[in-house]
Chain A
């Protein structure tokens, strides 16, 4: 029997209880749903923790960190619901529960089955199928065509799932790269102009993904994210230097072309980033509101219910970080960034410890995906880089985003389980 450490779970329960009690009193005790929500959430978290602890299956720290992030996000979403009379918070709780189920299913599937490294063409075909499907059936929302509306008021954001498939596909290539020791003996790879053929195929695939995402869906944020994952992986695994230079040159030219010739989409965002006060009612409206919200919060925030986070446009999606900073303070903002640090640290550590080459690459690419996604959106909200419309994993409202994040978490946790079968 291992000693049971209850402290982190106790803090998560405490945050939920305090947060939802505050919301309950904020509605002057009229809305009992917040009390039920609070009990349900604490229950889910504690059951999950005990389950993971005693089964000793998957990674405990990843789950604890994520459940803290989800708790903070949920409190903010429910608070925004009160002001705006929407129901993002309620549906987010539902998505959290479904997400946990999906997490367990993914965890078991990826831990038990062992053929994932052989499916590289399947992943590639699925990626393009999803991009094509969105291009044909998609609907344009806020200038990006990345939503598929299904009958029954369900909408899916395929770009979230494209991200996972992309990670799985590129891990196939990176895990097949021979190590320096093997290269010393004999390099048997086919080469074209000194660059291995496999790396060229991978490069073409990456650019095809990015190009089709950017052109058909105008989804520049995800395209940027895919490139960053690929480029970071290039540095982790020793790929040829020529290819890295070509990549760097290629992305610079692509960025410049986008800025100069696609003024209505990229140009607007860049000018809004350089000087939002040029057009405070139009292009700069979002970013100005976000900056105002963060500034008015100060160190400890205004307290839940005292601020006005609901005037930030898209406060429940892209700008939730600004909303949290206004009511809970920039210290909670720092804490959120630290939690993502812990998540990434733990993920990288799992990748290092993993025995299987493919699992290693897969875990690493997913960690890089979560890390960069967080960086891109938080940096966009605080006006460090131009704003791109991607979600903050585990915090932003939205079913697709939660699903995709929990699938990623499940795959990462599966890397923590050692291989039962010896490698051939």
Chain B
């Protein structure tokens, strides 16, 4: 193979890599790791949070852009929940995220409409969450960001 043929092929790889780079950096900016850290004021320590995927202005009820998770967080329509979402598709106490042995787990609390992890319906028992997992409750989707540095 001579040089110009190789160059013809490589140019496609070039375009693909540059666009992958743009995608990955946009994603990093979207998840806004550094900013979230400063806002929570937990510099040095690990932290985890849920980042809203939906556009906030399309929602008829109030929501934050992100919710930080300390030890345990209940998600639901009841005002007692740490992550309180006034969505009619949510159950009063919909799901629960909790920390155990340095890992975060999600557990559905018998909700009517169910919870979805990366598009799959959650079973009854708790499932371990990984960084950048997508969680869906009713109409609302979150990305789970974990910076606890849990090695797995």
Interface residue B60 (Cβ < 8 Å from any Cβ of A): no
- B18 in contact with A305 (CB, 8 Å): no
- B7 in contact with A8 (CB, 8 Å): no
- B17 in contact with A15 (CB, 8 Å): yes
Q: Enumerate chain B residues within 8 angstroms of A331, measured Cβ to Cβ.
A: 15, 19
**A353 touching B35 in the complex, CB below 8 Å, given contacts A1-B46, A61-B25:** yes
Interface mask (B6-23 → A, CB under 8 Å = 1, otherwise 0) = 111011111101111110
Interface residue B62 (Cβ < 8 Å from any Cβ of A): no
User: Can you list 13 residue pairs at the A/B interface with Cβ under 8 Å?
Assistant: A5-B28, A8-B24, A15-B18, A18-B14, A18-B17, A303-B8, A303-B10, A303-B11, A306-B4, A328-B15, A335-B19, A335-B22, A346-B29
- A64 in contact with B25 (CB, 8 Å): yes
Least CB distance from B95 to A in Å reads 24
- B25 in contact with A300 (CB, 8 Å): no
Interface residue B108 (Cβ < 8 Å from any Cβ of A): no
Interface mask (A5-20 → B, CB under 8 Å = 1, otherwise 0) = 1011001101100110
Identify which of A11, A15, A304 contacts B24 (C-beta below 8 A).
A11
Q: Enumerate chain B residues within 8 angstroms of A305, measured Cβ to Cβ.
A: 3-4, 7
A residues with CB within 8 A of B: 1-3, 5, 7-8, 11-12, 14-15, 18-19, 22, 25-26, 28, 56, 59-61, 64-65, 68, 72, 300-306, 327-329, 331-332, 335, 338-339, 342, 345-346, 353, 416, 418
Interface residue B33 (Cβ < 8 Å from any Cβ of A): yes
Looking at A2, A12, A64, the one whose CB has the most chain B CB atoms below 10 A away is A2
Least CB distance from A69 to B in Å reads 10
Interface size on B, residues (CB 8 A): 33
**A342 touching B7 in the complex, CB below 8 Å, given contacts A3-B146, A18-B14, A328-B14:** no
Which residue from chain A places its CB closest to the CB of B31 in the assembled complex? A5
Least CB distance from B38 to A in Å reads 7
Q: Enumerate chain A residues within 8 angstroms of B28, measured Cβ to Cβ.
A: 5, 8, 61
- A3 in contact with B149 (CB, 8 Å): yes
Least CB distance from B18 to A in Å reads 5
Least CB distance from B27 to A in Å reads 9
Interface residue B107 (Cβ < 8 Å from any Cβ of A): no
Alpha-carbon separation in the docked complex, A192 to B149 (Å): 61
Q: Enumerate chain A residues within 8 angstroms of B8, measured Cβ to Cβ.
A: 303, 306
Q: Enumerate chain B residues within 8 angstroms of A416, measured Cβ to Cβ.
A: 34
Q: Enumerate chain B residues within 8 angstroms of A25, measured Cβ to Cβ.
A: 3, 6
Q: Enumerate chain A residues within 8 angstroms of B6, measured Cβ to Cβ.
A: 22, 25
B residues with CB within 8 A of A: 3-4, 6-8, 10-15, 17-22, 24-26, 28-29, 33-35, 37-38, 43, 46, 131, 146-147, 149
Alpha-carbon separation in the docked complex, A301 to B15 (Å): 10
Which residue from chain B places its CB closest to the CB of A11 in the assembled complex? B21
- A332 in contact with B22 (CB, 8 Å): no
Alpha-carbon separation in the docked complex, A316 to B29 (Å): 32
Looking at A68, A345, A346, the one whose CB has the most chain B CB atoms below 10 A away is A68
Alpha-carbon separation in the docked complex, A199 to B14 (Å): 49
Alpha-carbon separation in the docked complex, A353 to B32 (Å): 13
Least CB distance from A27 to B in Å reads 10
Which residue from chain B places its CB closest to the CB of A19 in the assembled complex? B14
* Top-8 shortest CB links A-B: A303-B7, A1-B149, A11-B21, A303-B11, A335-B18, A331-B15, A7-B24, A303-B8
Alpha-carbon separation in the docked complex, A332 to B21 (Å): 12
Identify which of A61, A64, A332 contacts B14 (C-beta below 8 A).
A332
**A22 touching B33 in the complex, CB below 8 Å, given contacts A11-B17, A329-B15:** no
Alpha-carbon separation in the docked complex, A241 to B6 (Å): 59
Q: Enumerate chain B residues within 8 angstroms of A5, measured Cβ to Cβ.
A: 28
Which residue from chain A places its CB closest to the CB of B18 in the assembled complex? A335
**A22 touching B10 in the complex, CB below 8 Å, given contacts A328-B15, A418-B38:** yes
Identify which of A3, A60, A72 contacts B34 (C-beta below 8 A).
A60
Q: Enumerate chain A residues within 8 angstroms of B12, measured Cβ to Cβ.
A: 300
Q: Enumerate chain A residues within 8 angstroms of B34, measured Cβ to Cβ.
A: 56, 59-60, 416
